[in-house]
């Protein structure tokens, strides 16, 4: 294979990956805008706070890690149905965090299931920041 063909293939792969990364950052940017509207003192999200949220056990004795494993890079399994769940981290599953409406739907459902309440914008942003930091 020629160097030109190798470079062409590499550029094609990079071009396909860029919109996915941009979409994940677009979701995060949406939470940043919302956080700024809710709190004028808002500065940024925290990956460490997102990681804490990932392992927080709520009143239903569930956490995100109950189904998604200790690492969001791993394939998980639903605690009740045993259905396989694709990895949460975009580094392991490029389709994650690419649709803001879908991300919001899952936050509504899973925050309630795991924490027994709605997640705040700060928590959502921290969580997405954590998932994006997992390499």
pLDDT tens digits, 96-125 = 998 999 999 999 999 998 899 999 999 999
**Burial status of residue 50 (CB atoms within 10 A of its CB: 0-12, 13-18, 19 or more):** buried
Domains of the chain, start order: 3-133 (1.10.760.10)
- Convert the pLDDT of each residue in 21-43 to its tens digit: 457 788 999 999 999 999 999 99
pTM: 0.80
- Convert the pLDDT of each residue in 82-95 to its tens digit: 999 999 999 999 99
The residue ranges of DSSP E strands in 1-135, in sequence order, are 76-77, 84-85
State in Å, rounded, how far the first CA of the chain is from the last one.
Answer: 30
């Amino acid at each position: 294979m020629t160097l030109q063909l190798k470079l062409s293939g590499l550029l094609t792969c990079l071009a396909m990956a860029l919109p996915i990364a941009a979409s994940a950052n677009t979701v995060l940017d949406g939470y940043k805008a919302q956080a700024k509207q809710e709190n004028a003192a808002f500065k940024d999200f925290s990956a460490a706070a997102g990681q804490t949220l990932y392992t927080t056990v709520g009143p239903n004795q569930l956490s995100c890690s109950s189904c998604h494993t200790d690492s969001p890079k791993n394939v998980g399994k639903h605690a009740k149905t045993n259905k396989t769940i694709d990895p949460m981290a975009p580094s392991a599953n490029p389709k994650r965090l690419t649709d803001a409406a879908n991300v919001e739907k899952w936050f509504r459902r899973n925050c309630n299931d795991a924490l027994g309440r709605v997640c705040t914008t700060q928590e959502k942003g921290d969580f997405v920041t954590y998932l994006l930091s997992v390499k």
